[in-house]
Structure 1
Amino acid sequence: MIRESLRPHRDDVLLAVFSVLAGALLWSLGVHNNGARDSLPDWAALVPLTVIGSMELLRRTAPAVTLPVGAACLIADQFTVGNLATVVIFTDLMYAAVVYGKPALARVLPVATGLLTVAVTIAAVAWLRTPQSLLIGVITGIVTFGPALTGATLRNHREAADAARLRAEQTTLLAEMDRAQAVAAERARMARELHDMVANHLSAIAIHSTAALSIDSPATSREALGVIRENSVQGLAEMRRLIGLLREAGAGPEAGAVPSLDGLDSLIAQARTNGCASGLDFVLDDRRPPGEPLPAPVELAAYRIVQESLTNALKHAAPGAVRVEVARAGGLLTVRVDSPYGDRPGPRAPGSGAGLIGMRERAELLGGEFAAGAAGTVWQVRASLPAEERAVSG
C-alpha cells in the first residue's frame, strides 16, 4: 500500500504517461540520438525510457530517489540507440529535485551541476582537442546545470513570496491586536468618565429620595426634591456632554474635557449641599502656587479623583468634616481627601467598588501613585500625579 506522502500528484501521472508515450512514438518513427548500436537491439532504448518515465510519478514526493535513478537511466541510454524523451525527462527530474527537494539538496545541485559542466567541458577539450568538443560541455550544461538553475530561481521566488505573505499575515495580526487593545482602552476610559460624572449625582439622588420616603416631613421632602431635581439636571448635562465628546470626529482621549481644578470650589459647594442632610461638611484647602499651569490630563485626573472621593463620602462617611487638600511640590501634584469613617445613621447609597478602581487607573495611567484605606476613624485617599508636561507625555 502506497503511503499518503508518496501518492503521486495528478499532474505527475499525466506527465509520466505523456512522456513515455512520446518517447515510444519517437522510437517507432526511428528518431534516435546515438545512431545504430551493434551490441544491443533497438528496442533496448525503451527500457531506460520506461524506468525514467515511471520516476515522474515521484518527482514531487521523492526527488532524492528519482534523481539518481534518472541519472542511471540517462547513462544506460547512451549504450542504446538513444531516445530524446529520456534526456528531456531527466532534465525535468533535475528541475523537480531542486524545486521540491529538501533545502540542502536545492542548494547543492546548482553548484554541483555547474562544476560538473565545467569539468566535462575541460575534459572534452583536453581529450578531443577540437572546437566541436565544446558542444559536449554545452549539452552537459543544458541537461544538468540549466534545469537546476531554473529550479533554484523558481524556488527562491516562491520562498520570497511565502516570506512576504507570512510578514503580511503577522502585520495583520499585530494590527488586529493593536485595534483590540485600543478598543479595550477606550471602553475603560469611557467607563471611568461615565462613572465619575454620573455617580456623584445619582448618589445624591438616592440619598435624598430615601430621606424623603423615610422622613414624614413636608419640609424635608421639599428640600430633598429640590436637591434631587438639581442633581438630575446636572447629571443630564454631564451625560449630554459625554455623548457630544463621543460623537466628535478625531477627538483625543481627553478631548474637550471641561472639568479642571479651578472648578473644585463649585464641586465642594455642590457636595456641601448634597451632604447637609447627612451631617457632612466639606472643606477645601487648595495649596497650589498661583500661575503654574498643569497638563490637561493631570488636571482632569485630579478633578475626577476628588469628585469620586466626595461621592464616596456622600455614600459612606459618618457625620463630620470631609477635608480636601490639593498641593503641588517637587514636580508632583498631591491630592488628599480625609472623611470620617464609622457607622452612619440615616439613608446610605450602595457602592460597587468601581470608583476606587477608576481612581487607581487614572493615577497609574499618568505614572502616578494612588492609595485608599481606613486609618482609625478616618478614611484616607492619597494620590500623587506627575505635574510636569514631560513626565506625562513620556
Structure 2
Amino acid sequence: MFSFLRPHRHDVLIAVIGLLSGLLLWALGLHTQGSRPFSAPWVSLLPLAVVSVFALVRRTAPQVGLIFGTLAVVADQFTVGNMVTVVLFTDLMYAAVLYGTPAAARRIPVTTFLITVAVTIGFLAWFRNPQALLVGILTGVVSFAPAITGVSVRNHRDAAEAARLRAEQTALLAEMDRTQAVTAERSRMARELHDLVANHLSAIAIHSTAALSIDDPATSREVLGVIRENSVEGLAEMRRLIGLLRTGDADAEPSASPTLDTLDALIEQAGTNAGTTGLTCTFEDAREERGPVPAPVELTSYRIVQESLTNALKHAAPGPVAVRLGRAGPSLTVEVSSVFGDRSGPRAPGSGAGLVGMRERVALLGGTIEAGPVDDGSGTRIWRVRAELPVDEGNVGE
C-alpha cells in the first residue's frame, strides 16, 4: 500500500530534470504569459514544484499525480507561467493513461476530448474571433494529445504482452505434446518388447525348470530343443527391435507385421511350447465375413492371442486352450480361454504388464476387452480373454 513512497528511478530522473529546467527558465526570466493576477515571478515556482513532486509518482500512483498536476497547471495560468510546468503536466496525463487502471485508460481520453471541444466552443462564443480556435488547439495539445498517445502505447504494450503469453502457451503446449508423444512411444515400445520376447522367455523358463527335474534323457533332449528354438527366435526378435530403435543402423530390417493369417503358426508354436505342461491348443475361425481388416486391428488381434497364450503357458491348469476368432457386422471378436486353477509343475512368474498392454492396444482402437475368470456353463471355471475390435476404417481409433 506504500509503494507510491518508493518512486521508480526513471520517475525520479524526470522529476529532477523537470524541476531544474523550470528553475533555469525562471532564472533567465523566460515566462509563458504576461500580466496575471499573481504577477510576481516567484509564484510560478509553486505550480512547478507541485508537478515536479507528483512526477515522482507518475508510475506508482498515476491518477493521484494527474489530479494534483491538473490543479497545478490550472493555478499556473494565474501566474506568469513556466513552460516546464505544462510539459510535466502532459507527461502526467500520458502516464495516467499508460500506467493507470483499464477504466481510467478508457475514461481519460474521452474526458480530455470533451474538455477540448468545450473549451474551443466556449472561447469562440466568448471572443467571437477565429483566433479563439488557437486556445482549443492548445488545450488539445496539452491534454487530449498525450492521452491518445498513452492509449496507443498501452495498446501496443498489451498486444506485445498478449503475444508473449501466446508464445509461452504455445511453447508449453508443444512441450506437453512432446512429452505425451515420448510417453506414448515409450508405452508402444514397452508393449512391442513384451509381446515379442515374453512368449519365448516364458517357454524357456518353464521348460528349463522342467529339464532340471526330469531324469529321462529323451524328454530332456526334447525340452532342450524347445528351449533352444525359443531362445534363438527371441534373440532374433530382440535384434530386429534393437536395430529399429537405432536410427544409425541402416542394415536393420523390420520384421513382417503379424496378421490373422499367421495365427495358425502362432498357435502351433504355442502347442509345441506347452507340450510338457498338459495344455492343448485349439483354434476356431468362426468369422462369418472374410473381408479385409485394418492392419492395426490385425496386429492387435495377433498380440492379444499371443499374450493370452503366453499367460496360459505360465498360469493355466492342464486342459484345453481355445482360441476363437469371430466377425459379425462392424466388429471382430477375439476370444482365448483356458482352464482356471492351480497346476503342479513348473510355472513362470507374471507381472501383469501383458494385461495392461492388451488393454492399451484395444483402447487405442476404440474397442472393448474383458479378462477374468468365468463359468463355461458346465461347472468348469475358465480364464477368458474376450476383445471386440472395430473393423470399419472410419471407426478405428475413435
Cα separation, 2, equivalents of 1:237 and 1:185: 25
Q: Distance in 2 between matches of 1:386 and 1:290?
A: 14
Query: For residues 1-394 of structure 1, what are the structure 2 equivalents within 5 Å?
Result: 3-37=2-36, 39-247=38-246, 258-289=257-288, 291-375=290-374, 376-394=380-398
Name the CA distance, whole Å, in 2 between partners of 1:334 and 1:3.
73
Query: Which range is displaced more, 31-40 or 280-289?
Result: 31-40
Q: Alpha carbons of 1:257 and 1:98: their partners in 2 closer, same or farther (altered >3 Å)?
A: farther
The CA distance in 2 between the partners of 1:31 and 1:104, in whole Å, is 39
> In the alignment, is the contact (CA less than 8 A) between 1:208 and 1:225 conserved in 2?
yes
How many residue pairs match? The answer is 388
**Cα distance in 2 between the residues matched to 1:388 and 1:257:** 23
Q: State the Cα deviation string for residues 13-43 of structure 1 (Å, max 9, x = none).
A: 1111111110111011110111144644211
Task: Name whichever of 313-322 and 212-221 sits farther off.
Answer: 212-221
Q: CA RMSD in A?
A: 1.7
Show structure 2 runs of 5+ residues with no match.
249-253, 375-379
Q: Which moved more, 1:333-342 or 1:235-244?
A: 235-244
Structure 2 counterpart of 1:386, one-letter code: P
State whether residues 4 and 57 of structure 2, in contact with CA within 8 Å, keep that contact through their aligned partners in structure 1. Answer: no
Which amino acid counterpart does residue 154 of structure 2 have in structure 1? R
Q: 1:78 offset after TM fit, Å?
A: 1.2
* Alpha-carbon distance between aligned partners in 1 of 2:300 and 2:140, rounded to the nearest angstrom: 76
**Alignment partner, residue 251 of structure 2:** none
Judged with a 3 Å threshold, the aligned counterparts in structure 2 of structure 1 residues 192 and 166 are, in CA distance, closer, same or farther, namely same
Match of 1:252 in 2: none
Q: Matches of 1:343 and 1:178 in 2, distance apart?
A: 45
SS in 2 for 1:81: coil
Which amino acid is the alignment partner of residue 342 of structure 2?
D
For residues 260 and 39 of structure 1, what CA distance do their matches in structure 2 show? 102
Could you tell me which amino acid in structure 2 is paired with residue 156 of structure 1? Answer: N
Q: CA shift at 1:286, angstroms?
A: 1.3
**How far apart are 1:256 and its partner, in Å?**
6.8
1:380 CA drift (Å): 1.3
Q: Helix, strand or coil for the counterpart of 2:116?
A: helix
2:395 is paired with a residue whose SS is: helix
Using the size of structure 2 for normalisation, the TM-score is 0.93
**Shift in CA distance, 204/174, structure 1 to aligned 2, threshold 3 Å:** same
CA 1:110–1:256 in structure 2 vs 1: closer, same or farther (change >3 Å)?
farther
Contact 1:334 1:385 in 2 (8 A): yes
Equivalent position amino acid for 2:115 in 1: L
Kindly, what percent of the aligned residue pairs are identical? 65
Cα distance in structure 1, aligned partners of 2:99 and 2:36: 37
In 2, are the aligned partners of 1:245 and 1:256 still within 8 Å (CA)?
A: no
Q: Provide TM-score, normalisation by structure 1.
A: 0.94
CA distance in 2, matches of 1:71, 1:266: 93
What is the identity, as a one-letter code, of the residue corresponding to 2:182? V
Query: How big is each residue's C-alpha offset from its partner over 1:133-185, in whole Å with a ceiling of 9 and x where there is no partner?
Result: 11101110110011101011100111111111111111111121121112111
Distance in structure 2 (CA, Å) of the matches to 1:167 and 1:75: 44
Shift in CA distance, 290/235, structure 1 to aligned 2, threshold 3 Å: farther
> What's the secondary structure of 2:222's corresponding residue?
helix
When residues 300 and 257 of structure 1 are mapped into structure 2, their CA distance, relative to the original with a 3 A threshold, is farther
